[in-house]
Amino acid sequence: MEKRVYTSCTLDCPDGCGIIAHVRDGRVVKLEGHPDHEFTRGYLCGKTYDYPQRIYSPERVVDPLRRSNGRTDGAWQRVSWDEALDLVAGKIRHFVETLGPLSIMHYQRTGSWGATKILGRRLWNLLGGVTTASGSLCSGAARAGQTLDFGTRSGHDPLDLLNSRAIFLWGRNPIATNLHVVPLLKEVRRRGDHVVLVDPVQSESAGLATRHVRPRVASDAHLAMAMAKVILDEGLEDRVFIERYTHGFAEYRRFLDTATIAELSRSCAVSEREIRELARLYATTKPSAISTCGRRMKMRARSMRCICPPESSNGYFPSISFGLMLTASSA
C-alpha cells in the first residue's frame, strides 16, 4: 500500500521546497513538488527528484568504516555500529577526563539541514561544551559584514521581490542555485521592469537579465563604491533616512572620498557612463532590491559592507521590498 507523506527538502538551499513523498512498503518510491506551496509551486530541482536513487544506491556508504592500520594510508575496513560507537565514545571520554571537554573540536556545516543536527549541539552542551569554529567556510564573512552594518539580520518573504521594479542580481546565479526565484524574475521582466545581473561570468542567469554588467573579478566592492558616490554626488540619497536611522555616515563619506569615480571605474573595469546609469537606475526606480550571495570569497565582509550602504542611502529598508537579500546556498 502506498501512502503520501508531506515534508520539505533538507538540502542547504534557500528555496525550502515543499515535497510530497510517495512511500511504499517503507521505501520512498517517488518525490514530487507540493502544488500548494506558495513559493516552490509544485516543482523541484533535479537533485531532489533523484534523491530516492541516492538513498537506495548500492554505492552509498551505510556502515561505519575504519582504517585497517589506524593510519590514513590503511585500507578501509567495515566495522559494526556497536564497535564504532564504543570507539568514538571511548575517545570522547578519554579527552574529557584527561584534558577537559574544550580539548574536543566540533565542526558542523550544512550540506543538509534537519532536526538531527540540532540534537548534535544538545549532545555537546550536555557534555560540558566543546571548542567550535569562529566563522565558517561558507557565508560567515558576508554575514559578519551585514551584522556590522545592520546590527541584526532577518529574512523576508522571497515573493517580496515581486514588489521591486529593479532587481540587481549581485554575483547571483539563481538558475543554478535558487531555481524558484526564476519565475519571479521573469514576471518582473514581463511587466517591463528591470533585472540587472552584476557578474564577471556569463552565467546561466544572464538570459534572465535586462542588463548584464561584468566587473573585473573581485572588484565589485569598487563598483558599489562608485555607484554610492554617484548617488550622493547627484543628491539622489534619502537624506531624512540617513539622518534618522544611520550612524557613522560622515565617516562613510570620507571613506568614499579616498577614491575618485574614475579610479574606481578603472579598478572594476566598468565605464563611468555605465556606473552612472546603474546608480541612477537603482536610486530612482523605487522600490528596488539587491539580491546577493555570501560565498567563500576573500574580503567578502568588506565587499558586502560596500554593497550595503547604497541601500541605506536610498532609505529602502523600512519599505516594502527593502534592499538587500543575502543568500548563501548552491545546493
Indicate if 191 and 46 belong to the same structural domain: no
Non-local CB neighbours of 205 within 8 Å, separated by 6+ positions: 169, 172, 173, 174, 175, 176, 197, 199
Indicate if 248 and 314 belong to the same structural domain: yes
pLDDT value for 154: 72
Indicate if 95 and 224 belong to the same structural domain: no
pTM (2 d.p.): 0.84
pLDDT one-digit tens code per residue, 290-307: 888 755 455 555 666 777
Indicate if 125 and 239 belong to the same structural domain: no
What is the Cα–Cα distance from 179 to 43, expressed in whole angstroms?
10
Q: Is the pLDDT of residue 287 over 60?
A: yes
Angle in degrees, CA 47, 50, 55, rounded to 5: 110
Question: Scanning the structure block, which residue is given the C-alpha cell 556497536?
Answer: 82
Q: Based on the structure, what is the number of domains in the chain?
A: 3
Contact 330, 297 (CB under 8 A): no
Average pLDDT over residues 19-33: 96
Write down the mean pLDDT value for the chain. Answer: 86
CATH number at residue 307: 3.40.228.10
CATH number at residue 16: 3.30.200.210
pLDDT value for 327: 54
In a domain, 72, yes or no: no
Least confident among 93-97, 228-232, 300-304: 300-304
Indicate if 24 and 46 belong to the same structural domain: yes
In a domain, 299, yes or no: yes
CA end-to-end distance (rounded Å), the chain: 33
- End-of-domain residue from the set 90, 109, 132: 132
* More reliable by pLDDT, 297 or 39: 39
Indicate if 153 and 113 belong to the same structural domain: no
What is the Cα–Cα distance from 156 to 148, expressed in whole angstroms?
19
In a domain, 158, yes or no: yes
Q: Is the pLDDT of residue 317 over 60?
A: no
DSSP string, 165-208: SEEEEES--HHHH-GGGHHHHHHHHHTT-EEEEE-SS--GGGGG
Contact 314, 229 (CB under 8 A): no
pLDDT value for 308: 65
Q: Is the pLDDT of residue 63 over 60?
A: yes
Instruction: Give percent above pLDDT 70 in the chain.
Output: 89
Contact 41, 34 (CB under 8 A): no
In a domain, 295, yes or no: yes
Indicate if 124 and 252 belong to the same structural domain: no
Least confident among 131-145, 193-207, 257-271, 315-329: 315-329
- End-of-domain residue from the set 39, 55, 71: 55
Least confident among 185-199, 227-241, 294-308, 309-323: 309-323
Q: Residue 25 gets which letter from DSSP?
A: T
Average pLDDT over residues 42-49: 94
Could you tell me which residues are beta bridge partners of residue 19? 7, 33
In a domain, 73, yes or no: no
Assign 3-class secondary structure to 232-294.
Answer: HHCCCCCHHHHHHHCCCHHHHHHHHCCCCHHHHHHHHCCCHHHHHHHHHHHHHCCCEEEEEEC
In a domain, 65, yes or no: no
Question: Scanning the structure block, which residue is given the C-alpha cell 550544512?
Answer: 110
- End-of-domain residue from the set 71, 99, 132: 132
* More reliable by pLDDT, 163 or 308: 163
Structural domain including 108 reads 80-132
Q: Is the pLDDT of residue 311 over 50?
A: no
- Give the residue ranges of DSSP H helices in 4-80: 46-49, 51-55
pLDDT value for 286: 87
In a domain, 50, yes or no: yes
Q: Is the pLDDT of residue 99 over 90?
A: yes
pLDDT grade, residue 240 (50/70/90)? Answer: confident
Indicate if 108 and 208 belong to the same structural domain: no
pLDDT one-digit tens code per residue, 136-145: 777 777 777 7
pLDDT value for 257: 95
Indicate if 113 and 186 belong to the same structural domain: no
Least confident among 18-27, 53-62, 314-323: 314-323
pLDDT value for 301: 58
Average pLDDT over residues 7-13: 88
Average pLDDT over residues 117-129: 87
Indicate if 127 and 264 belong to the same structural domain: no
* More reliable by pLDDT, 16 or 216: 216
Cα-Cα-Cα-Cα dihedral sign, residues 296, 299, 301, 305: negative
Q: Is the pLDDT of residue 315 over 50?
A: no
Least confident among 116-120, 202-206, 218-222: 116-120
Indicate if 16 and 164 belong to the same structural domain: no
Indicate if 183 and 268 belong to the same structural domain: yes
Q: How many CA atoms lie within 13 A of 230 on its CB side?
A: 23
pLDDT grade, residue 316 (50/70/90)? Answer: very low
